[in-house]
Amino acid sequence: MRVAPRVKVLWIKEEYLQHILSGRKTVEVRVAYPNIARLQPGDILLLNERYRYRITAIRRYPDFAAMVAAEDPAAIAPDLSDRAALLDACRALYPPEKEQLGVVALEITPEHAHP
């Protein structure tokens, strides 16, 4: 059993970072690279080396289609209108060979209030 949570720096595009900071985006989606797949609930994400967020839940999916079917699109991309738009956006970010690694949905919450 781990004593201290792992801290992982995660780089977020500015528009999505602003959604996270405002509380509109509560789920960050990544492909399951080994460094992402090792994350566990309770670990800390240091967003853009500045903002500390705790992982409260992790859900794993075989691909983006399964993730989009199960997750609330508004929690992932507040400006997208529906599941099809979210699926298209995810696949625009990651090529098929990356999607084959699997998909991880990280539910996050601020560790502390932001200044």
First to last CA, the chain: 33
Both structure tokens of 74:
């508004």
Residue type, 24: R
Report how far apart, in Å, the C-alpha atoms of 19 and of each of 59, 75, 95 are: 20, 9, 24
Q: Are 53 and 20 in contact (CB under 8 A)?
A: yes
Q: Under 8 Å CB-to-CB from 3, ≥6 apart: which residues?
A: none
**What pTM did the predictor assign?**
0.91
Q: Render each residue's pLDDT in the chain as its tens digit; 115 residues.
A: 556 788 999 999 999 999 999 999 999 999 999 999 999 999 999 999 999 999 999 999 999 999 999 999 999 999 987 999 999 999 999 999 999 999 999 999 999 754 4
Q: For residues 92 and 71, what is the distance between their CA atoms, to the nearest angstrom?
A: 18
Cα pseudo-dihedral 31, 35, 36, 42, rounded to 10: 180
Domains of the chain from N-terminus onward: 7-110 (2.30.130.30)
| Res 80: pLDDT | 87
Q: For residues 20 and 35, what is the distance between their CA atoms, to the nearest angstrom?
A: 21
